[in-house]
Amino acid sequence: GNLVTAVYACVDPDARRVSLANAGHPRPLLLASGGRSASEAGERGAALGLLPDERYAATDLSLAPGDRLVLYSDGLVEAKAPDGALFDVQRLRGALTSRAALPAEAWADHVLEEVTRWIGKPDLTLDDDLTLVVLDMPAGDAGAS
């Protein structure tokens, strides 16, 4: 059967905080300012409805100026090359760290171009949904872009 996954992110730009709850979705990636490494953020619970008594704990993150938080669906990291190889989280991390200086929208466009090249099709035709949300914490005064 089909499962429904979700990630909930409540952003408080003034406090530079994000609260995450995850129901079977890929864990968001957090790129610290400076862009050298990306770590998975938050805990991952079961998919929605899979366990009737599942409780989804929130994880609170403090974001520093220049941090980037990336939320994405499994369709992104499960995109298949013609030989069947997955785009996978390591490739997404590589794209995140190698192009960290790009603004959020340009970085997202870059990732979608990389996935399009990976699957070997002229357009982004996938077997699964693809969602990509990028949050940059501005380097100046509090407030997200």
The CA–CA distances, whole Å, from 71 to 19, 50, 141 equal: 13, 22, 23
CB atoms within 10 A of CB 4: 11
Residue 38, pLDDT score: 86
Nearest by Cα to 135 from 80, 65, 37: 65
Residue 83, pLDDT score: 95
Residue 141, pLDDT score: 58
The CA–CA distances, whole Å, from 116 to 75, 124, 129 equal: 12, 5, 14
Q: What would be the CATH architecture of the domain defined by 6-136?
A: 4-Layer Sandwich (3.60)
Q: Per residue of the chain (145 residues), give pLDDT as tens.
A: 678 899 999 999 999 999 999 999 999 999 988 767 788 898 899 999 888 888 899 999 999 999 999 999 998 999 999 999 999 999 999 988 888 889 999 999 999 999 999 988 877 666 777 899 999 998 765 544 4
Residue 129, pLDDT score: 79
pTM for this predicted structure? 0.86
